[in-house]
Chains A and B, each alone.
Chain A
Amino acid sequence: MKPFFTIFSRSYVFFSPRRKILYAGTLFILVLFLMLSRKIQVTENIASLLPDDRSEATQLFSLLEHMPFSRKVAITLSAGPGTETERLLDAGRELSRSLGPPYFTRVVSGPGDLADGALFTWILDSLPNLITESDLRRIDAALTPSSIRLRLDALFQRLLFPTGIAEKALLREDPLNLAAFGLEKFQSMNPFPGTRIVRNQFLSADGQSTLILADTPVEATDYQGGKRLCQYLEERIARHVPPDIRTLYISAHRYTVANADVIQKDVWRVIGLSTACLLVIFLIFLRHWRAGFVFLVPVSSLGAAACAVYLVFPEVSAVTLGFGAVLLGISVDFAIHIYFALSSGNQNPGAVLDEIARPLLFSALTTLSAFAVLCFSILPGQRQTAVFSMAGLVWAVAVSLWVLPHLLPPSGQQSTAGPWRDAPRRVKGRWGVFLWAAAMGLGVFGIRNLEFDGDLGALNRVPDSVLTTEEKTQRTWGDFRRTAMILCRAPTLEAALAQNHRLFSLLETETVPRHPVSIAPVFPPVKRQKMHRKAWEAYWRHGRGARHLATLNREAARIGFSPGAFQPFLDRLSRKVPPITLETFSKNGLAPMLEPFLSRTGTGFSVATLVPDTPATATAFNNLKDTLPGVRFISQSRFRETVSDAVTSDFMKFLARAAGVCLFLTALLFQRITLLVPAVIPAVSGVVVMLGGMAALGLPFNLSNIAASILVIGLSIDYGIFMVCRLAGGYRHHTQRAVFVSGLTTLSGFAALAAADHPALSSIGITVILGIGAALPAALWVLPSVYRMGMGIGGTDHASA
């Protein structure tokens, strides 16, 4: 191994008289980084935080995007005190007219053609296809001689009323009000229970609010697009809605924008704060102007990392760049070790490099391998972070070993740290070990209470204003935004409708969910329609319906109606009716109302049924799914659970692999148990205290800080490697101080992260502070004692020499 590690000392000797070439080469690469960095297009699409493999989570996410309200912006206009309904509806109509491309493709403020006379005629035409046997029984119960008489009396009065001219034709067509039975079928398609339709616009049950639903092509996970969408909408609201009308809007974009805004603010604050902390630490501990070159190592590693991501991935996520703060804290460690190693006395720098290269490379290797396991993550963002970090670390190590030694002041000219700036002195003897063991015991004891929160939503930071809007929208229009979807897919429309019809029938027998929103009652499969027609014809021609018609004719004559008054109705009953098809809907302008429910897929058709997204609904579906093969249940909560499960299992695997790889590399380096045990003490201490501390603080183990725990293992094992190398190698350079300072730089970076507003970032910060906060003292105080105890059993303590 030795000849390999001397490559750096030999390189040092080679470049010593040719430093200008080395500097020029380094500068050239840095300029290259700079040029490439200018080409980087940062995307703030948070889709990188969601799985992109072929897992169930990925499929669910893709299906969720097809949910009726997933890409809709719900805009609620509410009347202030004294505002007339008409004024409110005018404002709603005006605003909906003002919304258009490129942010909105379709804007709906009411059912459109549904409220027109065309719907009424269509319903009358379609009754034979829609009315079930159970409906016929209800019709029969409603049609008694007295009810028919009363109905005709009322109808007579309506004819004489000023509105009689408008209503006359429909009254002739439907004197028994059979359309009501057809119309109630449309209730099953209404996702807004209690909503009224006034002037073709949605009006809330209390008459105080109107609703606009706007389709947008902007992806819910697209931060920049979402931000522009919100700005566009707010500008339109300010321009078109009078000030006495309050306007609220809600969509997935608002959550994305709110979250990303917080992260963006946090990222700059964290990078600023951690940079400032680094500078302060440098000023205290390095105290030489050339120490500025140490600082350049992490800064330039950010450039290297960003360029690597740019070259490997089609787009660079802002979330990945946000990880730069962490990279700053990690990559500076290598430079610090070089700095302190070279400042430790009058040794030949080449010899120092020979000594430091081995632990430095191994510690880099452990950290790299910890990140390398993330390359296999199902989350594209994590894979990008892995490449980003690995590239940055490789650059930092390379610059630290090849370039930095030439830039640092010659030995003996560097600042001498005063006693207060020196690393803490080690705690003597077995007391330190005892205290550590006690702390470990407490930590392990505490781990029992550690909770796991797999909910991705818990990592969101949503402003109160967004939550209040969501709550008000829900209160006014019902919980339509949080519905789940049951999807029936089949190669043909008829098969999909048949499956959907069966689903609807089965759901009706379940106690939950109540009132599924479905097209089944309005668009039954053709086969079912044929059955309905047969029953309808039999009822009116030969059944009890024929008797009701006789009553109708008799009572009409008695009241004063002419003999042909209701001939259009009688003609309609005897007319042959074709089945309802997609074309029928289109021809009558009713196709838009099917759009949210019915879609063509690459392999056929899919029909959606909306149900409340509750655990009870999921249970009900589980009861049904065996009888409905191929039917899928898609919901936000199920998606969250699936993603959480997938990501958790992913990370647990990576945690184990990272720990295994780090242990393997450390074992490979030391090859003796008496060296390996003390070397892993910082990592073990870090993990135990981290988990125990989280339990004590009530901080759950979540999807964000699982990633941080990989980092704790990777970093703290480095401290162990450096310390054991120093102790076993008997080096004279200031390893202990280097570990101390690099620990401080890491802690300062994560302390900045812990101060972030976003729960995902702050939980990483707190977790790493706990871990590194324990690993660092363990490396400085406990490790040497354990090492000596080990050496007392069977080894040589070079450190004591």
Chain B
Amino acid sequence: MKSIPAVFFILCGLFSTGFAIVSPSDAPGEEALEQIREAMEDIHSLAGDFIEEKRLVMLKEPVLLKGRFFYVKPDRLRWEYFSPEAQGFALSKDRGIRWQKNPNQRIPFDLNAAPALQGFVDQIFSWIQGDVEKIQNRYRVSVSSEDAVFILLTPRIPAEKAVLDRILIRFSHDLRYVRTVHIHEKNGDTSRIRFTHVRINPPVDSKLFP
């Protein structure tokens, strides 16, 4: 999982919707990340929908995925797709459940025994905990602002560099929310994720997690 930081930045973008009080214009990368970290402190839960468009070399046609996510601090996460097929996972600490097609047919798993997923989840959680240093160790961060604010992340670690070209996160002009996350891979694969109906600190039903 060293090479799949993309979704982590999806959430990174989501959490930065708490930037309302921060003046965004011309903020250097480090400062922007610091502002994001500060914004994280007030987030206890998150929920929202997403639409993801994947264009993969391995597939003849682009695929459009729709789904939703829930997060409860510090270590509960649910990530699920509704279409084209239902699948997803939910976690409480290192106890997890996973399903494919039928959400009622849940397969329990130990996160420690699923290294790929663990890497994905670790990155999300480390972001939520505001580990700016970790992000900067892994990515070069640059910020640009025209009609909207963009954060461009390029990997530093060779293993990630070999797979990932860049990640572009587009914020709204006032940094209140993330509009899209665009992941470009070296082989030409791209994923574009658009977030909608994001809610910060909503009540989240504990039954959604194992």
Contact = CB atoms under 8 A, between A and B. Distances in A.
Interface of A: 84-86, 89, 115, 154, 157, 159-163, 165-169, 171-172, 196, 198-199, 203, 207, 560-562, 564-565
Question: DSSP class of B's interface residues: helix, strand, loop or mixed?
Answer: mixed
Contacts of A561: 58-60
A157 B87 contact: yes
A89 B1 contact: no
Contacts of B94: 84-86
Interface stretch (B31-39, B40-48, B114-122, B137-145): B114-122
B6 interface: yes
Given A85-B94, A157-B87, A162 B120 contact: yes
A198 B59 contact: no
B152 interface: no
Given A162-B7, A163-B120, A165-B185, A560 B112 contact: no
A162 B81 CA distance: 10
Nearest to B5: A165
A729 to B, nearest CB: 88
Contacts of A159: 54, 56, 58-59
B112 A166 contact: no
A165 B163 contact: yes
A85 B118 CA distance: 13
B59 A562 contact: yes
A203 B112 contact: yes
Given A85-B94, A85-B112, A160 B65 contact: yes
A354 B3 CA distance: 98
Contacts of B93: 84
Contacts of B6: 162, 165
A160 B61 CA distance: 13
B158 to A, nearest CB: 13
A200 to B, nearest CB: 8
B191 to A, nearest CB: 8
B4 interface: yes
B87 A165 contact: no
B115 A160 contact: no
**Residue of B54, B57, B58, B189 with most partner-chain A CB within 10 A:** B58
A252 B57 CA distance: 57
Contacts of B191: 165
Given A162-B120, A166-B4, A157 B100 contact: yes
Given A84-B94, A86-B94, A560-B60, 13 more contacts: A84-B93, A85-B110, A89-B112, A154-B100, A160-B63, A160-B85, A161-B87, A163-B116, A166-B116, A166-B120, A167-B116, A168-B56, A171-B58
Closest 6 CB pairs of A and B: A198-B112, A565-B58, A163-B116, A165-B4, A166-B4, A162-B7
A560 B4 contact: no
A141 to B, nearest CB: 25
B21 interface: no
Nearest to B185: A165
B65 A163 contact: no
Contact of A166 (B1, B79, B110): B1
A616 B119 CA distance: 46
19 contacts: A157-B85, A160-B65, A160-B84, A161-B87, A162-B4, A162-B117, A163-B116, A165-B6, A165-B163, A165-B164, A166-B4, A168-B56, A198-B110, A198-B113, A203-B113, A562-B57, A562-B60, A565-B58, A565-B59
Contacts of B163: 165, 169
Nearest to A197: B113
A115 B58 contact: no
A199 B4 contact: no
A199 B1 contact: no
Nearest to A170: B116
Interface string B56-97: 111111010100000000000001010011010000011000
Nearest to A565: B58
A196 B112 CA distance: 10
A560 B58 CA distance: 9
A165 B189 CA distance: 9
Contacts of B61: 560
Contacts of B54: 159-160
Nearest to A198: B112
Nearest to B163: A165
Given A84-B93, A161-B87, A562-B57, A166 B81 contact: no
A478 B57 CA distance: 47
A712 B113 CA distance: 65
Contact of A562 (B2, B58, B112, B183): B58
Contacts of A565: 57-59
A199 B112 contact: yes
A199 B117 CA distance: 12
A465 B1 CA distance: 42
B3 A165 contact: yes
B58 A199 contact: no
Contacts of A168: 56, 58, 189
A207 B115 contact: no
A115 B115 CA distance: 10
A530 B114 CA distance: 36
Interface in B178-204: 183, 185, 189, 191
**Residue of A85, A86, A163, A203 with most partner-chain B CB within 10 A:** A163
A89 B191 CA distance: 34
Nearest to B1: A166
B71 to A, nearest CB: 14
Contacts of B56: 159, 168
A281 to B, nearest CB: 69
Contacts of A199: 112, 115, 118
Interface string B11-50: 0000000000000000000000000000000000000000
Given A172-B58, A561-B59, A163 B117 contact: yes
Nearest to A166: B4
A89 to B, nearest CB: 7
Contacts of B118: 199
B1 A163 contact: yes
Nearest to B114: A163
A160 B191 CA distance: 10
Contacts of A198: 110, 112-113
